[in-house]
Structure 1
Amino acid sequence: MTPYDALVAPFVEFDFMRRALVGSLALSVGSAPIGVFLMLRRMSLAGDAMAHAILPGAAVGFLVAGLSLPAMTIGGLAAGVAVAVLAGLLTRTSVLKEDAALAAFYLLSLALGVTLVSLKGSNVDLLNVLFGSVLALDDDALFLLAGVSSLTLLTLAALYRSLVLECVDPGFLASVSRSGGPTHFVFLGLVVLNLVAGFQALGTLLSVGIMMLPAASAAFWSARLSGMFVAAIAVGALASLFGLLGSYHTGVPSGPAIVLAAGALYLVSIAFGASAGLVWRLLPARRHRAA
C-alpha cells in the first residue's frame, strides 16, 4: 500500500470520509480551547458530567421525532443548560461543591437518558445516541459544528480577560468586577453547546474526549496559554485525521477510533512534549550526573 492509498485516497474517493474529517476538525477548533479552560479551572471532570447531562434532553428529542438532528440538538441543549444552571445555583446556595453537584446530576441524567431512549428505540438507536456516528454527518450537522465553533471562538475572545482572571485568581476578579458570575455561566453554556455539537459526531459518552484529551496534551507542549490553545487544536486535528484513517483501514468504529488516537497523542505528549515532556525533563539531570 502506497502512502497515497493509506493517507489520501480515503478522503479523495469517499464523500462521507471528507464530511467526517471536516466535522471533526470543526469540533476540534471549538472544543479544544474550551478544554484548556476547563483544565486550568480544575473542572476537567465537569466536562464529562456535562456530556452526560445532555442525554435526557436528547432522549426526549428522540422520543418525539426519532433520530432528528434539530429535535435532539434542542433537547440536549436545554437539558445541558438546565443542569449547568441548577448545579451553579446549588453550589452558591448550599454547602455542596460544584463538582459534587455536577456528579449527582450527571448520574441521574445518564440513567434517565438511557431509560428514555430504551422506551422507544432499539439497541442500535441507543448506541448511536451514546457513541455517535461521525461517518453519517450531513450538511445540517456540518453547519451546526461550524457555527458552534465560530461562536465559541468569538465568545472566548470577548471574555478572554475575565476567563483568564477567573482561572488565576477568582477572588481578585470578584473584588474588582461583578463579571465573574455571568462569565462563569456563559462559559458553562459554551461547554454545553460544544458537547451538544460533539454529540452529533461522537455521542454523549465520547464527545468530551475530543475536548479534554487534546487540552491535557497541550499542557506538555507549551507553558503559555496561547501556545496551549494552538497545541490543543493541533492535537485534536491530528486525532481526527489518524482516528478516521485507522477506522477506515481496520473497521474499528470511527468515534472510538478518534478518541483512541487522541489518547495515543496524549501519551506521546507526556513522553516527548517540548515544555514538560518526561524525556526532556530527564535529560538535563542525566547530563549533570555524567559531568
Structure 2
Amino acid sequence: MLDLLAGPFLDYGFMRRALVGCLALSLGACPLGVLLVLRRMSLVGDAMAHAILPGAAIGFLVAGLSVVAMTIGGVVTGLTVALLAGLVSRLTPLREDASFAAFYLVSLGLGVLLVSMRGSSVDLLHVLFGTVLALDNAALVLIAAIASVTMLTLAVLHRALIVECLDPGFLRAVGGHGMLVHMLFLALVVLNLVGGFHALGTLMVVGIMMLPAASARFWSENVAGQMAVASLLGFAACVTGLLFSYHHSLPASPAIILAAGAIYGASVLLGRHGSLLASALRLRHLQH
C-alpha cells in the first residue's frame, strides 16, 4: 500500500514537481475560491479563467510555450477583462456576472482562434488542459511566488476582504476603500488563475479554485476554517488525481478535477454542516 501511494512520488521527479506545484496552487487558489463563494461570484471565476486565454495565446504566438510570455499576456488580458466588466456593470444596468459572461465568451473564442492560427492540436491541448506532469523550474517558481503573495495579502487584508464580501456599502461608508479592495481581490484571482493555468490549463484551473471551496462550506462554518479546509481538500484532490492518472495512464488535469468533484459529492452527502446527512440527523433529533 505504501509503495502504491508513495512510490510514484519517490521514484519520479516529474511526479514530485507536480506535487509541489499542486501544493502551492492549493494554498493560493483555494482560499480565494472561498471568498468567491462568499461573494456569490463562483461563476465569475470560470469567466476569469477564460479571460486569460487571449493573452496567453498572444504570448504563445510571440514566444512559443514560454512561461514568462504567456504569464504576462494572461495577466494583462485577465486584469483588462476584470476592469472592463466592472466598469460595464457600474455604468450600465447590466449586472457584473452578466458582463463577465459576455467577456468570457469573447475571450474563449478569441483565445482558441489565436492558438489555432500557429500552433498544433497539441499546443491547443497544452493551453486548454495544462501540463501538470511537465512543470519546469520557471513554472514552479511562478506558482509558488503567486501563492506566497496571495497568502501574505490575505493575512494583511483579511478583515477588509471579508467586510467587502458581506457589506461593501459599510466599507465605503467607513472609508475602507471598497473599490480598491475589490480590484485587489480580482487581481489576486487573475494571478492565481494565470499561475494555475500552466499546471491545469484554462479549462481546468477554475475547478481547483472552486470545488474545494464549495466543499469546505460543509465542513466549517467560519471563513478562516473554510479557507484552511479548502486548501487541505484541494491538495488531497491533487494527490488523488495524480496517483489515479499515474496508475491508470490517464490525463492528470481532468483526473485532479474529477477527484475534487468526488470530494465535493462526499461533502454534500456527509459534511458536518448543512449536508444531507447532517440535515437528516437534525430532523430526526427534532422529531424525537
Question: What range describes the TM-score normalised by the shorter chain of this pair?
Answer: over 0.9
Distance 1:81 1:170 in 2: 21
TM-score normalised by structure 2 residue count: 0.98
- TM-superposed deviation, 1:288: 4.6
* Alignment partner, residue 233 of structure 2: 235
Task: Please list the CA deviations of residues 238-289 of structure 1 after superposition, one character each: whole Å capped at 9, or x if unmatched.
Answer: 0010000000011110000000000000001111111222112212323454
Alpha-carbon distance change, 43 to 288 in structure 1, aligned in 2, over 3 angstroms: closer
Distance 2:136 2:258 in 1: 24
| Residue pair 1:162, 1:179 contacting (<8 A) in 2 also | no
* Alignment partner, residue 47 of structure 1: 45
Matches within 5 A, 1:133-212: 133-212=131-210
Q: Aligned Cα RMSD in Å? A: 1.0
Amino acid of the residue matched to residue 133 of structure 2? L
Q: Which of 255, 260, 270 pairs up with 1:257?
A: 255
Q: Which of 124, 127, 130 pairs up with 2:128?
A: 130
| Residue pair 2:59, 2:69 contacting (<8 A) in 1 also | yes
Q: Which of 96, 99, 102 pairs up with 2:100?
A: 102
Q: Which runs of 5+ in 2 are unaligned?
A: none
* Alignment partner, residue 268 of structure 1: 266
Task: Please list the CA deviations of residues 146-187 of structure 1 after superposition, one character each: whole Å capped at 9, or x if unmatched.
Answer: 100000011112221111111111121121124100000000
Task: Please list the CA deviations of residues 20-56 of structure 1 after superposition, one character each: whole Å capped at 9, or x if unmatched.
Answer: 0110110000000100000000100000000000000
- TM-superposed deviation, 1:212: 0.2
- TM-superposed deviation, 1:123: 0.6
| Residue pair 2:160, 2:176 contacting (<8 A) in 1 also | no
Aligned identity (percent) is 60
The number of residues matched between the two structures is 288
TM-score normalised by structure 1 residue count: 0.97
- TM-superposed deviation, 1:113: 0.2
* Alignment partner, residue 8 of structure 1: 6
- TM-superposed deviation, 1:222: 0.6
Distance 2:159 2:224 in 1: 13
Other structure's SS at 2:254 match: helix
* Alignment partner, residue 285 of structure 1: 283
